[in-house]
Structure 1
């Protein structure tokens, strides 16, 4: 079981430096770190290469486009996804690899994030409204746990399977939610609270940016619900969970919460 970690970056060299330092300090290093330069004019590429990362260029702006370019270029059996401002705990990579090695029915893994920077009020709002609100609302809409873009992983084979269903060319695509929606109803998706990543509080400094991302999220929901209705999604995901539990029992895999 091998791990590629993909980190999209746009003019984020300083944050990227901390992220790559945290990846270099992992108890089980990633087999490949891949930085996707999304048209940066700062030192993003130089910083990536200083830390030994492979650089992929995606000049077309957009987080989903950059993420897809990184996932397409990944060489390992599992693909992890962090943002440039993510700071993974030292056991993050080891935990990701172990979870996929232990459970052949697992297709995607995610968790939340703890905010750093800013004041206590912004961090409280970020944790309880921004992240928990996202997970709560879209878990109901998707009929299963959505992926959180700053802290997720999926099998490379799973990405290759869903790649044709991902609306990469949509300029309003919400990257993590788009990937969550593209996963089939039978996909095994787990939430692991032990998968710890620090994320910057900076998204909460701009209400305009926050509202724009929220609008993109609901746009993505509308796009996918035109393709698969919500009742069909709920029924399909329920059937998928039952089938997965049956496969786990047959394989002797302990089901995670």
Structure 2
């Protein structure tokens, strides 16, 4: 990796005073040149805590994570950038692997590692991309981002082009905004993933777990919007398929077996064919 390859970290934060300091510290520990915290209209002292931790702070009215990431990205001048949520942390070794791969192949728009998923009770579960080189078509067909955004190092110029210049106009959804970001980045260049842990990821703190149905509906709209733009056909999800995917998301993140069995049963009842094709036996072994 060239000594000229710099990287910044952007952290959207809303009422995150308890978590943001650890996120900022982990970014600097991973080698970040700058850490930019976008205070998304917090009503607590998130901004001051972030400044004390060494971050630069950009303040805005509450507009959601997608808008906060865009705002922070506009301040980035480094070669590479990571979008880190305030309740997550970076793992230096995995970040270094991603940066080296990105520096070695100028055609790539992003490289990501795996995540160490952490439940509220402290239980851990790996989050690993099943497809190491997903295509734009596979992202739209499958309807999910391979790993959380914190795991990914983006090439700054291509990400800026993807979010600010490329057609069509971005949707900027309140839910599943990381999925749209990945789709738009894949339109600019290939993505690559490896298995080294690059982030510690909170499995229960995000909007996708607080309201999985709304998150899945957002993904459904996003995949139709972009598939129509690039001229490929992906099947629309029915309401039952949305319910099944929402139940599957709850299943993967539940801690108690009675809950997991209930969610798994609901997923199968709503869409048995799709759930079988998603490999629930493998998922069950992975999260046991």
Q: TM-score, normalised by structure 2?
A: 0.66
Query: Partner of 2:53 in structure 1?
Result: 51
Pick the aligned partner of 1:87 from 81, 86, 89: 89
Range moving further from structure 2, 63-72 or 206-215: 206-215
Question: C-alpha offsets along residues 6-34 of structure 1, whole Å, 9 cap, x if unaligned?
Answer: 111111121112112222333xx211111
Pick the aligned partner of 2:190 from 151, 172, 188: 188
Query: Partner of 2:165 in structure 1?
Result: 164
Question: Once the 2 structures are TM-superposed, how far is the Cα of residue 132 of structure 1 from its aligned partner?
Answer: 6.7
Question: Which runs of 5 or more residues in structure 2 are unaligned?
Answer: 235-288
RMSD: 3.3
Q: Distance in 2 between matches of 1:21 and 1:95?
A: 19
Query: Partner of 2:178 in structure 1?
Result: 176
Pick the aligned partner of 1:34 from 36, 46, 49: 36
Report how many residues are paired.
224
Q: For 2:19, what is the secondary structure of its paired residue?
A: helix
Q: For 2:149, what is the secondary structure of its paired residue?
A: coil
Question: Once the 2 structures are TM-superposed, how far is the Cα of residue 111 of structure 1 from its aligned partner?
Answer: 3.1
Query: Partner of 2:28 in structure 1?
Result: 24
CA contact (8 A) 1:203 1:209 kept: no
Question: Once the 2 structures are TM-superposed, how far is the Cα of residue 205 of structure 1 from its aligned partner?
Answer: 9.7
Summarize the Cα distance change of 1:172–1:18 in structure 2 as closer, same or farther, 3 Å threshold.
Answer: closer
CA contact (8 A) 2:36 2:58 kept: yes
Query: Partner of 2:263 in structure 1?
Result: none
Q: Distance in 1 between matches of 2:79 and 2:197?
A: 19
Question: C-alpha offsets along residues 132-167 of structure 1, whole Å, 9 cap, x if unaligned?
Answer: 79x99x973437975632321211110232223475
Range moving further from structure 2, 204-213 or 148-157: 204-213
CA contact (8 A) 2:207 2:215 kept: no
Query: Partner of 2:138 in structure 1?
Result: 140
Summarize the Cα distance change of 1:169–1:180 in structure 2 as closer, same or farther, 3 Å threshold.
Answer: closer
CA contact (8 A) 2:81 2:154 kept: yes
Q: Distance in 2 between matches of 1:188 and 1:206?
A: 26
Q: TM-score, normalised by structure 1?
A: 0.74
Question: Which runs of 5 or more residues in structure 1 are unaligned?
Answer: 233-257
